[in-house]
Structure 1
Amino acid sequence: MKNSFVNTSNVARFMSAVSDLQNRGAGEACLMVVDGHPGLSKTTICHWWAIQNNAVFLRAKAEWTPRWMVRELLESMNVKPRHSFQDCFRQAVDALMSRSNQAQIQGKTFAVIIDEVDHIGKSAKCLETLRDFSDLLEIPFIFVGMQKVRDNISRFPQISSRIGQYVEFFPASRDDVYSLVNELCEVEVGKDLIEFLLEVSRGRVREVKEAIMAIERFGKRNNGTVTRKAMAGETLLNSRDNGQPIKVRAD
């Protein structure tokens, strides 16, 4: 499978929200929530954006405490944490400000992305610490998780009131699936097989990519365009719901 980044409708939705966040009226409203069901490329898209903008990307841990979280934040910016939490917090403020200023000079948007934020969705101490950074520096913090993130954060009005943008990721559209197959697959794929993939994957990008790998393996063993008829009886992907293989049907 080609190592390419595909601009899907979720990418466009994410980029639009980041732009709107940068143009916000209230400086303190610089939190953003990205949510949606698993398998819709939230992590992939946010990680790609972080690389493009030299932003910070962290994955929350189930047992995170504010101290552990801030130390990981410092380490992600190549700063050696000091001993006390107070010193670590000051280090983080300085490092984040420096990265933000550097991004402005380069014409980029700096932000801190916290993936798997569900792990700390009920941790007032962790969320309040992130809010402290955001309030002090007015730097965007992007919280990425599943659909319970909104409900969890709504329990903390001081945090939810600072959320400037909500972005919900949706299953890939027909155009998205065609783009993913045509831009990632290393063999030519017939429209009938792409339509079948759209049906059985239900727009879940993770499953679409799994199917592309299967199509490639089949295509490289056989000559010509891989059609639904040609691949009939072959396993296209595994069902997320029951773990059973989904085979290509001829009709």
Structure 2
Amino acid sequence: MKHQMAMTKNMRRFLNVVDELMNRPPGTEGMGLLWGKPGQGKSTSVAYACNAMDGVFVRAIGSWTVTSMLGEISVELGGKRQLRRADMIHYIVEQLAANPRPVFIDEADYLFQQVQMIDSLRDIYDLSRAPVILIGMEDIARTLQNNGRFARRITQWVEFEGIDLADARIVADTCCEVGIDDDLLRYIHDESSGNIGRQIVALTKVERMAKASGLASVGRDDWGDRTLFYDQPVFSSRKSKRGE
């Protein structure tokens, strides 16, 4: 598979949103939210946008505290972790105010484990005015709407949904090193329900088979009844008794 970014509608829309946040008129709030189900390409899109726009990227984890979050952001800005939270906030604000860069926080659902993390992030945004984009799962938008002080600062709400067949073609042509015939592409798209992550898995398996078989392109008949995905086995909820 080729390491290239497929410019799907989701990807183009997200890049446009980040650009609008970076170049927003004075007085306009500049926070954004990207959310969606697993496998919709959020993290990949954020990595691309962050690299293209010289952003600051951190990934929240379940064990984060306010100090952990501020330390990670400080390090990404070229600083170091400090004992006092106030000192790190001061450093972060100073750096972002002097050189405005978008701040991307992936797995942002974890931030709501401690309201102080949300409050500290809001302070950083209010004082620096640098764009802050949160990335989370499908329920994060509802969670944020329940936090009025934070939600009112978000002017860009972006949901990543399944890609259509036209975007599936863009993904196949951009990423796959062998040709994918229309009938096989349609089959992959249907079986994956438009989930781009699952489509990449399927295309990787198809490409591997094609190279092993010496095929320049692959159609539905070539693929046959092979499995497209690495799905987990389905187990019965009934526990078997010892000796059965």
TM-score, length-normalised on structure 1? 0.87
Q: 1:240 Cα deviation (Å)?
A: 7.1
Q: 1:134 Cα deviation (Å)?
A: 0.7
| Aligned-CA RMSD value | 1.9
Measured at CA, do residues 196 and 241 of structure 1 come closer, stay the same or move farther in structure 2, by a change above 3 Å? Answer: farther
> For the residues of structure 2 that align with 1:27 and 1:45, how far apart are their CA atoms?
28
Aligned to 1:44: 44
Aligned to 2:4: 4
Q: 1:120 Cα deviation (Å)?
A: 1.3
> For the residues of structure 1 that align with 2:136 and 2:104, how far apart are their CA atoms?
11
Work out which of the residue numbers 200, 215, 221 in structure 2 matches 1:229: 221
Deviation per CA, 1:157-213, whole angstroms, max 9, x where unpaired? 111111111001110111111111111111112111101001101111111110111
> For the residues of structure 2 that align with 1:241 and 1:193, how far apart are their CA atoms?
24
Aligned to 1:153: 144
Aligned to 2:168: 177
Q: 1:2 Cα deviation (Å)?
A: 0.4
Deviation per CA, 1:97-148, whole angstroms, max 9, x where unpaired? 2332xxxxxxxxx200010001113532111111111111111100100121
> For the residues of structure 2 that align with 1:48 and 1:176, how far apart are their CA atoms?
17
Equivalence map 1:29-108=2 (5 Å): 29-100=29-100
Deviation per CA, 1:35-62, whole angstroms, max 9, x where unpaired? 1111000010011100111101111111
> For the residues of structure 1 that align with 2:194 and 2:74, how far apart are their CA atoms?
37
> For the residues of structure 2 that align with 1:194 and 1:2, how far apart are their CA atoms?
17
> For the residues of structure 1 that align with 2:155 and 2:35, how far apart are their CA atoms?
14
Runs (4+) off by over 6 Å: none
> For the residues of structure 2 that align with 1:5 and 1:202, how far apart are their CA atoms?
21
Give yes or no for contact 1:28–1:135 (8 Å, CA) kept in 2.
no
Give yes or no for contact 1:121–1:149 (8 Å, CA) kept in 2.
no
Aligned to 1:121: 112
> For the residues of structure 2 that align with 1:216 and 1:70, how far apart are their CA atoms?
43
> For the residues of structure 2 that align with 1:218 and 1:139, how far apart are their CA atoms?
47
Gap runs ≥5 in structure 2: 236-244
TM-score, length-normalised on structure 2? 0.90
* Percent identity for Structure 1 against Structure 2: 27
Measured at CA, do residues 23 and 242 of structure 1 come closer, stay the same or move farther in structure 2, by a change above 3 Å? Answer: farther
Give yes or no for contact 1:81–1:91 (8 Å, CA) kept in 2.
no
Q: 1:21 Cα deviation (Å)?
A: 2.8
> For the residues of structure 2 that align with 1:28 and 1:128, how far apart are their CA atoms?
20
> For the residues of structure 1 that align with 2:177 and 2:122, how far apart are their CA atoms?
45
> For the residues of structure 2 that align with 1:34 and 1:241, how far apart are their CA atoms?
31
Structure 2 counterpart of 1:117, one-letter code: A
203-212 or 234-243, which moves further after superposition?
234-243
Count of residues paired in the alignment: 234
> For the residues of structure 1 that align with 2:114 and 2:150, how far apart are their CA atoms?
12
Equivalence map 1:193-232=2 (5 Å): 193-224=184-215, 225-232=217-224
